[in-house]
Amino acid sequence: MRDILSKAVKLNAALLKIESNRQLWQRETKPLLVRVLNQINDEAKLNLVVKVDARHQNHERVNLSFEPKPSGIVEMLEDSQRSLLKIGGSLAFCQSYNGDIYPFVAFPYVEDVVIRNENLLLVKLDPRRITEEFVVARVNDFLSAMLEWEQVTSGAYTGLLVVPSRA
């Protein structure tokens, strides 16, 4: 019985932490992400977009993204032309079920020409560890990955990005 009671205490603590993480996300983490990402976007002048995807409460995401745009590649059809789109990359800060945050990079791709690479998970951490400095560092990682992607003619990610420590 002692084992059951011990596990019950741990389970209740875990459930309370999930609720605490979710409240922290709404109250502090999400507003911090939006503020810092908008500030970076305004200063960097890279024509990025900051969006909050709140379709699923307690499983939200804050994105910093390049919008889709013409790639410059035109498909010549029999009686017309079609401009192929480049879908821009993004940096997303996602809220997991248990309230932990996992930032990841989604790479750009060009429809029908350059395949979409798998997302790169940067780290998974407690929302209490998200600071302005952390967000700035992840944007720096994101821009490094975008720069590398643009410089590699195939669009294949080479993996040279240094994944940040779990700090």
pTM for the model stands at 0.82
Do 94 and 122 meet the contact criterion of CB atoms below 8 Å apart?
Answer: no
How far is 10 from 95, CA to CA, in rounded Å? 22
Residue 48 burial (10 A CB sphere; 0-12, 13-18, 19+) = buried
Amino acid in the structure at residue 20: S
pLDDT tens digits in sequence order for the chain, 167 residues long? 889 999 999 999 999 999 999 999 999 999 999 999 999 999 998 889 999 998 998 899 999 999 998 888 888 888 988 888 899 999 999 999 999 999 999 999 888 877 888 898 999 999 999 999 999 999 999 999 999 888 875 555 455 544 454 44
How far is 88 from 118, CA to CA, in rounded Å? 14
- Give the SS3 label for residue 54: coil
Give the domain ranges of the chain: 2-151
Helices (H) and strands (E) in the chain, counts: 3, 8
The pLDDT, as a whole number, for residue 153 is 55
Do 115 and 107 meet the contact criterion of CB atoms below 8 Å apart?
Answer: no
